[in-house]
């Protein structure tokens, strides 16, 4: 079936390290960084859970709730979190979904059968306050995710929503942005009184 950008994120109920949740209720008007892990007590995952916890203030500043998942139970998650806190010098303060029968991993197509029948690959879903999937990324089991990129794409999505712009290759906050072709030059003059550069009719840039 596939989970695609623009889809409503599938709802589910689950046990987590902070108690049971119904996903759609738990979103509660925030953004969500939902990310899966092949398993508890594994080295790459340990660094990723730790990095997410270290970036807690950065996620909160963007109104983003992290939500981890691995196909183990709550007790294993809780023991693993103690290891993460010890080894990564942090305090994990976000929930990790327990999914021992993999039903949520299968719902979100986090199980790639030719890689593993039971363990999730490293999927990322950025979900907006309207519960829409805004970004999907899939990393292999042996490669830890780049958290600068995760924050960057959240910034790009939120800036795009707020300011009606698109972002060019390698954009970072403060960089030039692109005026979409759906906006006429006349409207652009109103929206971007600071001015814009028209390199081509389809390629106009401005700074915010």
Catalytic residues: 45
Question: Is the Cβ of residue 16 or residue 36 nearer to ligand BEZ in the bound state?
Answer: 36
142, 119 Cβ separation under 8 angstroms: no
CB of 90 to ligand BEZ, least distance (A): 17
Tell me if 186 contacts ligand BEZ by CB under 6 A. no
Phi-psi region of 109 (alpha: psi -120 to 50; beta: other; left: phi over 0): left
Instruction: Measure CA of the first residue to CA of the last residue in the chain; give whole Å.
Output: 39
Tell me if 114 contacts ligand BEZ by CB under 6 A. no
Neighbours of 121 (CB within 10 A): 18
Tell me if 121 contacts ligand BEZ by CB under 6 A. no
How far apart (Å, rounded) are the C-alpha atoms in residues 61 and 21?
A: 23
Phi-psi region of 203 (alpha: psi -120 to 50; beta: other; left: phi over 0): beta
How far apart (Å, rounded) are the C-alpha atoms in residues 70 and 42?
A: 11
Per-residue string for binding with ligand BEZ, 29-68, x by CB under 6 A? ---------xx--xxxx-----------------------
Tell me if 97 contacts ligand BEZ by CB under 6 A. no
CB of 47 to ligand BEZ, least distance (A): 8
CB of 26 to ligand BEZ, least distance (A): 25
Tell me if 17 contacts ligand BEZ by CB under 6 A. no
Q: List, in order, residues 6 or more apart from 121 with CB less than 8 Å away.
A: 36, 38, 110, 111, 112, 115, 138, 139, 140, 141
179 closest CA partner among 193, 194, 154, 198: 198
CB of 141 to ligand BEZ, least distance (A): 4
Question: Is the Cβ of residue 37 or residue 204 nearer to ligand BEZ in the bound state?
Answer: 37
Size of residue set near ligand BEZ by CB under 6 A = 8
Tell me if 141 contacts ligand BEZ by CB under 6 A. yes
Binding site for ligand BEZ (CB under 6 A): 38-39, 42-45, 141-142
């Amino acid at each position: 079936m596939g989970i695609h950008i623009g889809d409503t994120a599938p709802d589910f109920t689950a046990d987590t390290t902070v108690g049971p949740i119904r996903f759609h209720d738990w979103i509660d008007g925030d953004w969500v960084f939902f990310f899966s892990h092949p398993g508890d007590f594994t080295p790459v995952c340990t660094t990723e859970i730790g990095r997410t916890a270290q970036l807690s203030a950065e996620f909160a500043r963007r109104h983003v709730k992290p939500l981890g998942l691995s196909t183990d139970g709550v007790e294993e998650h809780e023991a693993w979190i103690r290891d993460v806190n010890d080894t990564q010098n942090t305090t994990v303060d976000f929930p990790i979904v327990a999914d021992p029968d993999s039903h949520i991993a299968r719902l979100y197509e986090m199980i790639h059968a030719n890689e593993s029948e039971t363990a999730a690959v490293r999927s990322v879903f950025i979900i907006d306050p309207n519960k829409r999937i805004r970004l999907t990324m899939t990393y292999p089991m042996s490669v830890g995710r780049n958290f600068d990129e995760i924050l960057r794409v959240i910034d790009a999505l939120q800036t795009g929503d707020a300011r009606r712009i698109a972002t060019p290759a390698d954009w970072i906050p403060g960089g030039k942005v692109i005026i979409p072709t759906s906006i006429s030059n006349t409207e652009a003059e109103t929206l971007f009184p600071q001015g814009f550069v028209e390199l081509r009719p389809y390629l106009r840039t401005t700074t915010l």
